Chain A
């Protein structure tokens, strides 16, 4: 066990955990931030996507000991009032079915748009490739992302 100081959604947290603990479980079990989802644990589904500084990472494979003083952003902290343009677009397009994958989808798309505000269809597809949606909402996800790109 070791104590880590983390900057999550602009707040400082201290956790005393096994250094190998993935950020996913630190967030969910220790910080009670459960918006970040568990889907596979091996970086294959994207449900656990968070931002490390501005880059999308799979928190299920990110040991807490490797975070250092980089900023962590989770779905809960993506916007102050739940009104990030993508969150609004998701509601406008009524994207979710079960909804379980959607936090990861939004976080991944948000990182994409930050790095590349005008992605082509192919760039969107490539960037979103790692985010599974078992319910098959892919066409709506793409439409929601594109509506933000155009706007």
Chain B
């Protein structure tokens, strides 16, 4: 047991209120069915007559059923299951008697209600455990008081309170009312990880049954009586603005209620980071049904005019070539790299590029809003409710406490729903028409209005001496509109003479965080370069990395290297063992390795593939992961599989290009996403056994696999690929 003080400013533990009947004050009753957390179609749990709120995370029914609020946005990363598991662990309850509810935005109770940076579990870990442990403590105290026995003699087991000496037992529900009235304890006991019986065991998705039976769960599924449907038309190209609208034909179409322009953010508003919006002026069509609104938009006559340069991919390429050839801003220099390059016996130099990417969440952007003069109610998919509450308050001129945001399950996030302009749009539209409104983006709206992954380019250079020893390492990386480089990441710290430089080119194409920002390119480039370096040095690619990591562990260069070389080496060793590295492969199969550290987790991957007529067939990917304690192992495996498929898919197939400011790909007919038959035939996932604080998994598996893929392509074909999407390069290598 660990004794932990509860006094660390968590307001959720100060507030203990007893709710009378139903007790759904915090509930999201539209989405909440009373199904056990492990719902696999078992009979629904019996509802209690009364709920008692022990703290902001936990309500206990008089029959012992427990409701656990899941605070963070669920975008497919499984936090709606894994975060409540952590609470349930410390509360010591039977998971089958737990109901999980999505908590609304509530900054009084919860901290960091955000989905981003793979941080939900890492940053929630302590407060989730404390929530459970505090409630357990109060239940024990209530039982001790009632039974007239010392607190220490009251134990718990799976939702039962026990006093061994007297043989008394009671379920939590019997003391929930009394516990809710007790003061919050000053200190509580946390379990020793060895005592965990929920954390570290696989628990099914709490929404599984609803997902496979098509129950309403997502933002697009939300509806309210009298709700209207709205769509917002934005400029067809980045750099254009609204000139004039002729809406006469559209207005007279069946089912159309109103057509009007909106300005999402006021001109004098100082935007937050999450207020990115390249198309601030939009033309809105509001009607009774989705199809009618879609038809009416086609009847709009809108003139747009250029207000800024209309950029094209060809122009971007030229700009990047020019900038990459110049000296750039030095962000890290160790030793004297220039001198080493001057005296090198051999210099290897390679350039890597990757295009813009759209997020393409399967569920397009959408939001429900009902705004009156007094308050604003918003329901839908967002990764940043806490931030967007501020944007909404500012735009609507309402105080924060009048903005009520509820989160639905979200059909993917990948970073796109960090940028909540669509929430503001929905709110403005509802206010204007005086009715509840659901704003829907079509796929085309969604794809052409991205906060895209930037286009990147990196040049790596290595200086070798006569004997093939590494003398110096140089990376110069940039992009539109930002550089992808992390100057303090491996191999910085492992090389005496090291130089990192960055450059960037301005653009009016809006970009944002896309699953594993910057790492989603630089990892693949760096890991492909290390593969070539190993070959030039005559070393096994894993051995080279391990030698460099051993150097960084024993005698690090510089004192702010952003990784733990031992954990890094740990995943490489694990993947070497599990993948059968070095063993012979079937004819035609190439094997590549990569490892990377980002978002606090370490991942190494080995890819086995064949290339047939320019088409890669991925036989297998073996993954080794160190993310500390694994909360929900099978769900964690699912995340790693997903990140692996996503990384391979985007590196091989996807790109977003521009002509005169307009995206050339507007839907899935031209935008290539990886499909069933192109996915790896098998993905194996191994976790490093660990007692370390848990870290995230939403992003870390994606970046390295891009490098492992490129390296495997080389081993299979004898040709290196440098420019994503690799499928184009593979095709261009085909004879004839």
Q: Are A75 and B214 in contact (CB under 8 A)?
A: yes
The answer to whether A29 touches B289 (Cβ under 8 A) is yes
Q: Is the CB of A35 within 8 A of B215?
A: yes
- Asked whether any CB of chain A lies closer than 8 Å to the CB of B8, the reply is no
Contact A34 B216 (CB under 8 A): yes
**Contact yes or no, B212 A98, CB < 8 A:** no
Q: B672-687: which have CB < 8 Å to A?
A: 673-677, 679-683
Q: Are B289 and A137 in contact (CB under 8 A)?
A: no
Stretch at the interface among B87-95, B502-510, B635-643: B635-643
* B residues in contact with A22, CB < 8 Å: 291
What residues of A have a CB within 8 angstroms of the CB of B196 in the complex?
none
Q: How far is the CA of A96 from the CA of B77 in the complex (A)?
A: 10
A18 and B443 contact, Cβ closer than 8 Å, known pairs A102-B211, A103-B212, A128-B676? no
A34 touching B668 by the CB < 8 A rule? Answer: no
Inter-chain contact A42/B291, CB cutoff 8 Å: no
Are A29 and B290 in contact, CB atoms less than 8 angstroms apart?
yes
Q: Which residues of A contact B48 (CB under 8 A)?
A: none
Shortest A120–chain B CB gap in Å is 12
The secondary structure that dominates the A interface is loop
**Interface hub of A44, A124, A134, A136 (most chain B Cβ within 10 A):** A136
Residues A40 and B443 in contact, CB atoms below 8 Å apart: yes
Report A-chain residues with C-beta under 8 Å of the C-beta of B76: 96-99, 135
Residue B221, interface by CB 8 Å: yes
B668 near A45 with CB under 8 A, answer yes
Candidate in B41, B413, B642, B683 with the most chain A CB atoms within 10 angstroms: B642
Residue A8 lies at the interface, judged by CB distance under 8 Å to chain B = no
B677 touches A126 (CB 8 A): yes
Q: Are B362 and A100 in contact (CB under 8 A)?
A: yes
Known: A21-B291, A99-B211. A81 touches B412 (CB 8 A): no
Residues of B contacting A45 with CB < 8 Å?
362, 668
Choice from B78, B412, B638 contacting A134 with Cβ under 8 Å? B412
The reply to whether the CB of A37 lies closer than 8 angstroms to some CB of chain B is: yes
B201 → chain A, closest Cβ, in Å?
13
- Max count, chain B CB within 10 A of own CB: residue among A36, A40, A131: A40
For the side of the interface on B, what is the size category? Answer: 35 or more
Partner of B208, one of A47, A94, A122, A141: A94
Q: Are B41 and A83 in contact (CB under 8 A)?
A: yes
User: Which residue, of A28, A78, A91, has the highest number of chain B Cβ atoms within 10 A?
Assistant: A91
Give complex CA distance A82, B412 in Å. Answer: 24
Contact with B along A137-148 (1 / 0, CB 8 A): 111111000000
Is there a chain B Cβ closer than 8 Å to A59's Cβ? no
User: Could you tell me if A136 and B363 are in contact, using CB atoms closer than 8 angstroms?
Assistant: no
Q: Are A139 and B668 in contact (CB under 8 A)?
A: no
A93-131 contact mask (Cβ, 8 Å, vs B): 1 or 0? 010111111110010000000000000001011101111
Within 8 A of A (CB), among B198-221: 202, 204-205, 207-209, 211-218, 220-221
Known A18-B254, A34-B216, A83-B41; contact A96-B411, beta-carbon cutoff 8 A: no
Q: Which residue of A lies closest to B213 (CB)?
A: A82
> Within 8 Å CB of B667, what residues of A?
40-42, 44
Which residues of the other chain, B, contact A101 by a CB distance below 8 angstroms?
362, 411
A38 touches B364 (CB 8 A): yes
- Residues in A with CB closer than 8 Å to B675 are 129-130, 132, 138
On whether A135 and B289 interact (CB within 8 A), knowing A91-B40, A96-B211, A125-B677, the answer reads no
C-alpha gap A102/B680 in the complex (Å): 19
Measured in the bound complex, the distance between the Cα atoms of B414 and A137 in whole Å is 15
Selected contact of B638 from candidates A47, A87, A126, A137, CB within 8 Å: A137
When the two chains form their complex, are residues B78 and A97 in contact, meaning their CB atoms are under 8 A apart? yes
CA distance A1 to B217 in the complex (A): 30
B62 within 8 A of A: no
For residue B123, give the distance in angstroms from its CB to the closest CB of chain A. 21
Question: What string of 1s and 0s marks CB contacts (under 8 Å) between B385-426 and chain A?
Answer: 000000000000000000000000111111000000000000
Taking the complex as formed, is B360 at the interface, i.e. its CB lies under 8 A from any CB of chain A?
yes
The CA-CA distance from A134 to B361 in the complex, in Å, is: 7
B209, A137: Cβ atoms closer than 8 Å: no
Q: Which residues of A contact B673 (CB under 8 A)?
A: 132, 134
> What separation, in Å, do the CA atoms of A83 and B77 have in the docked complex?
25
Chain A residues contacting B285 (CB-CB under 8 Å) are none
Instruction: State whether A38 touches B220 (Cβ < 8 A).
Output: yes
Q: B624 → chain A, closest Cβ, in Å?
A: 17
A140 touches B292 (CB 8 A): no
- CB-contact partner of B411 in A17, A76, A94, A100, under 8 A: A100
Known interface pairs A96-B205, A137-B638, A140-B641; A18-B291 also in contact (CB < 8 Å): yes
The residue that A37 contacts in the complex, of B220, B292, B360, with Cβ under 8 A, is B220
> A41 and B443: CB pair below 8 A?
yes
Closest chain A residue to B632, Cβ basis = A94
Please name the residue on chain B nearest to A33 by beta carbon: B214
16 more CB-based (< 8 A) A-B contacts, given A83-B41, A97-B642? A17-B289, A35-B213, A35-B214, A37-B220, A75-B212, A91-B41, A94-B635, A96-B205, A98-B361, A98-B410, A99-B207, A124-B676, A136-B674, A139-B645, A139-B681, A142-B676
Chain A residues proximal to chain B, CB less than 8 Å: 1, 17-18, 20-22, 25, 28-30, 32-42, 44-45, 47, 74-76, 78, 81-83, 87-88, 90-91, 94, 96-103, 106, 122, 124-126, 128-142
What are 7 pairs between A and B in contact, CB < 8 Å? A18-B292, A76-B213, A98-B409, A100-B363, A106-B212, A131-B676, A136-B644
When A and B form their complex, which 8 residue pairs have the shortest distance between CB atoms, in order from nearest? A35-B214, A136-B645, A98-B76, A100-B411, A75-B214, A125-B677, A138-B679, A99-B211
